[in-house]
Amino acid sequence: MSVEPQSNPLSRRQFVARAAAAGVAVSVAGSVEALYTAQPALGTSGPKIGYGPLIEDPRGMLDLPRGFKYNVLSREGTVRPDGLQTPSRFDGMGTFPDSHGGNRLVRNHECSPTATIKVVAPPERTYDPAGAGGTSTLVVDKHNHPTSEHVSLGGSAINCSGGITPWRTWLTCEETELKAGQSGYTKDHGFIFEVDPYDDRRNNNPFPLKEMGRFQHEAVAIDPATGIVYETEDAFVAPLGGFYRFLPNRPRGGWGSLRAGGELQAMSIAGTPDLSVFQEAGTVLRNVEWVKVPDPLATSESVRAQDYAKPITGGYKLEGCWWGTSDRCVYFVSSFARTELGPQQNHDGQVWRYDPRERTLRLEVIFTRPTPGSDNPEFDAPDNITMSPYGGLMMCEDGLGDQHILGTTEDGEVFKFARNRVNNGTPEAPEYGELAGAGFSADGRTMFFNVYTPGITYAITGPWRRRR
């Protein structure tokens, strides 16, 4: 292993000071610039300033800066025209342009058998009749008015996040390892499924992409040049979740191409079993290797616990994953980056960048919370992250207390963009207020995101500010 702590490449003031000035209890350190420039179409940095203080919503749902407004597109429990209720537990989501100027949203439902409202799909779009999870497709017009909503996949389990393919489909990921006979399931779970947002005939006879692995999937990102699929695993107890790549037999892509199979490999960095030990932004880990997963189906033991040719490298709760179109690198989030706090406590987060050509892994950003017991425990580390068309990051909070969407300015300030008022997100409360699934419309005018429970899908419009 070669580890090189590097100096912060930013010439601006330290993010720590900026975050403190903004009154937000989180420090952001590292090469956030790299995240911006990885997506040149999205701008080179965040807005010059945030969007101002949050205005209390008289409806008690969502606080936003002045000038912004929200539309509620969908709610858990709403009775649809087909007579069925909209399922519970809104999580990851993909946004796709519609031919009439609107958008199509494919939304995950992270439902287990204990969900309040389980996913019910037509038999032809049901994988396992005992599975309670799946996806729903929501169509909105150019004015952000919902025009239709239906279940596009059923019979899956714990559909957490996923990723958009270069050919405009949604890969929905099961975050579970339960097998047939457990929890009443009739089939094994822990797979990835491909969902077409435009043609539901393709969603009939759901096909688990078994060679992509059976484990606690979180998110995926695809290199459009090679077709390689990168996958994160959301696990936070030993053995830690791995970072994987899938080498498809049909790398040119297209609907159904992943069904042709391929080889699943796990990341291995000599002497580095746990990524959370690195706390200095700019740290570079060299000589990244990939080792073949012996048993992608995890028939006898989990993928991350198998006997590899070399020890694999893991992390605590590997979450969001996206491809950098400019630098041709893949980025992923580790939501836990302080092992001493444990999974039930407030936690730090990391953003890592893997460069396939240099075979290096670099810690680009680290979000650090105050010492436990601080008087200002406002912000828990990010979960879902998306890039804004106007530059900067927009981050969904998943933790304790008030739940926010936060952004970063061109000077690295962390600002609050939205606050969930429906509930306060404490695990002890009956309703968990995690925010998830953030993404922008193709024209950049609307940001969509979900409240986990009670499930709500929002469309946000307003005076988005460009850098200049």
Contacts of 174 (CB under 8 A, 6+ apart): 133, 156, 157, 158, 159, 160, 189, 190, 191, 192, 193, 217
3-state DSSP assignment of residue 279: coil
User: Residue 369 has what pLDDT?
Assistant: 59
Token pair belonging to 306: 């198998």
Residue pair 419/408 in contact by the 8 Å Cβ criterion: no
Determine what percent of the chain falls in helix, strand and coil, rounding each to the nearest 5.
10, 40, 55
From edge to edge, which strands make up the β-sheet containing 103-109?
Answer: 90-97, 103-109, 133-140, 146-156
Q: Three-state SS across 301-319?
A: CCHHHCCCCCCCCEEEEEE
Q: What is the DSSP letter of 123?
A: G
How far apart (Å, rounded) are the C-alpha atoms in residues 449 and 444? Answer: 14
CA 288 from centre of chain: 24
Residue pair 24/378 in contact by the 8 Å Cβ criterion: yes
Cross-strand partners of 415: 407
Residue pair 194/170 in contact by the 8 Å Cβ criterion: yes
What is each CA distance from 337 to 65, 279, 363, 383, in whole angstroms? 31, 8, 11, 12
Cα dihedral 265, 271, 273, 279 in deg (nearest 10): -120
3-461: CATH class:
mainly beta
How far apart (Å, rounded) are the C-alpha atoms in residues 390 and 464? Answer: 7
How far apart (Å, rounded) are the C-alpha atoms in residues 219 and 321? Answer: 6
For 241-313, where are the E strands, in sequence order? Answer: 241-248, 262-268, 284-285, 289-292
Residue pair 433/423 in contact by the 8 Å Cβ criterion: yes
CA 203 from centre of chain: 22
User: Residue 467 has what pLDDT?
Assistant: 41
How far apart (Å, rounded) are the C-alpha atoms in residues 210 and 142? Answer: 37
What averages of pLDDT result for each successive group of 10 residues across the chain (468 residues)? 34 30 40 46 58 94 96 96 93 94 97 95 97 97 96 98 96 97 96 98 98 97 96 87 97 96 98 89 93 98 96 91 85 74 55 94 76 49 74 76 80 81 62 85 94 95 71
For tokens 């069904």, name the residue. 259
3-state DSSP assignment of residue 200: helix
CA 111 from centre of chain: 17
Residue 243's nearest CA partner among 210, 227, 219 is: 219
How far apart (Å, rounded) are the C-alpha atoms in residues 397 and 415? Answer: 13
Residue 315's nearest CA partner among 389, 233, 436, 227 is: 233
How many other CB atoms are found less than 10 A from the CB of residue 377? 16
Half-sphere exposure of 154 (CA within 13 A, CB side): 18
Q: What is the CA radius of gyration of the chain?
A: 21
